[in-house]
Amino acid sequence: MNDFTTVELMWVEKRIENRIRFGHPVREQIIDRHRRVLWFAPGSMFAFVRCTSNDFGAVLSRVDILRAAEPGRRYSTVPCICPGGESLLRLSGWPKVERVLQLIDVVEALGIDPAEAAPDYWHHVHNRLSVNETPRAYTRARHQAWLHRRR
């Protein structure tokens, strides 16, 4: 499992919530009731959501959509992910994180697995939301074009 990307998930009620929003892990290990580790195959896409709170409210809200690191290719490092992945989207702040989660729901409503959506779309969403613009919707036609290009 050396070439796989590992993601450490943690959940502590009202304090820490690290979770995967989409993606297909090839292995899972439960460490205890608060922690588990997931393994992703090289090149697979997944969304990693991190939220941290204290007694006064949310401290950190962040979403990363990554393509798992592939041997010999460059990648970005992200906390809780080893070794890292190609960053397709990285946004922080609850309003932007919430908007990304809504866009993921829209892709799923089309009957498309977000982990199979065009990586360019997640770049587009990142670029538009980082400057407070509205991203274009993902469509079946765009998805078909991506599948055709990938072949």
Distance, CA of 31 to chain centre: 22
**Which pLDDT value is given to residue 4?**
96
**Which pLDDT value is given to residue 31?**
95
Name 141's Cβ contacts closer than 8 Å, sequence gap at least 6.
Answer: none
Tell me the three state secondary structure of residue 112.
Answer: coil
Exposure b/e, 39-56, CB count within 10 A at least 16 = b: bbeeebbbbbbbbebeee
pLDDT tens, the chain, 151 aa long: 579 999 999 999 889 999 999 999 999 999 999 999 999 999 999 999 999 988 887 789 999 999 999 999 999 999 999 999 999 999 999 999 999 999 999 999 999 999 999 999 999 999 999 999 999 999 999 999 999 998 8
Instruction: Give phi and psi for 39, each to the nearest 5.
Output: -115, 135
**Which pLDDT value is given to residue 87?**
97
Quote the CA–CA distance of 32 and 106 in Å, as a whole number: 33
**Which pLDDT value is given to residue 1?**
58
